[in-house]
Structure 1
């Protein structure tokens, strides 16, 4: 039996800021992970491609406020930094 993926540990190296900000990024990263896992059965960020994250930003956040989308964009940029990719995302 494998352990569930620990998003807190995954983001620990790139998180900065206040406790509330760090908690928000972890919470949003877990939501991103759950939506991508539900759609493509990819459980860990290591398996993601840019198209998966782009899909989340375009389709899952299409009915959200601009501010909410912006905060998710910040979280996605942290995920990309942690993965060591050169992915660029814009709204």
Structure 2
């Protein structure tokens, strides 16, 4: 039996800011992880491609406000930085 993926540990190297900001990024990253795992069967960010994150922005957040989408894009940028990818995302 394997351990569940620890998103907090994964993002620890790129998280900055206040404790509230860190908690928000971790919560949002876990939300993305759950949705992507359900749709694409990709459990960890190491297995994600840019298309998975774009899908999440377009479908997972389609009912959300622009402000919410903005904060998720900030979290996506942190994930891309941690994965050492040059991905960009539109609001």
Which TM-score band (shorter chain)? Answer: over 0.9
User: How far 1:89 sits from its partner (Å)?
Assistant: 0.6
Q: What TM-score do you get using the length of structure 1 for normalisation?
A: 0.98
Q: Show the counterpart of 2:41.
A: 41
Aligned residues: 91
User: How far 1:63 sits from its partner (Å)?
Assistant: 1.0
| Partners of 1:42 and 1:88 in 2: CA distance | 20
User: How far 1:58 sits from its partner (Å)?
Assistant: 0.7
Query: Given the alignment of the two structures, is residue 80 of structure 1 paired with residue 80 of structure 2, yes or no?
Result: yes
Gap regions ≥5 residues in structure 1 = none
User: How far 1:4 sits from its partner (Å)?
Assistant: 0.4
Query: Given the alignment of the two structures, is residue 63 of structure 1 paired with residue 63 of structure 2, yes or no?
Result: yes
> Hey, which bits of structure 1, 4+ residues long, moved more than 2 A?
none
- DSSP 3-state at the match of 1:42: coil
- DSSP 3-state at the match of 1:37: helix
Q: Show the counterpart of 1:27.
A: 27
User: How far 1:90 sits from its partner (Å)?
Assistant: 1.1
Gap regions ≥5 residues in structure 2 = none
Q: Deviations over 1:56-85 (max 9, x none)?
A: 001111110000000000000000000000
Q: Show the counterpart of 1:4.
A: 4
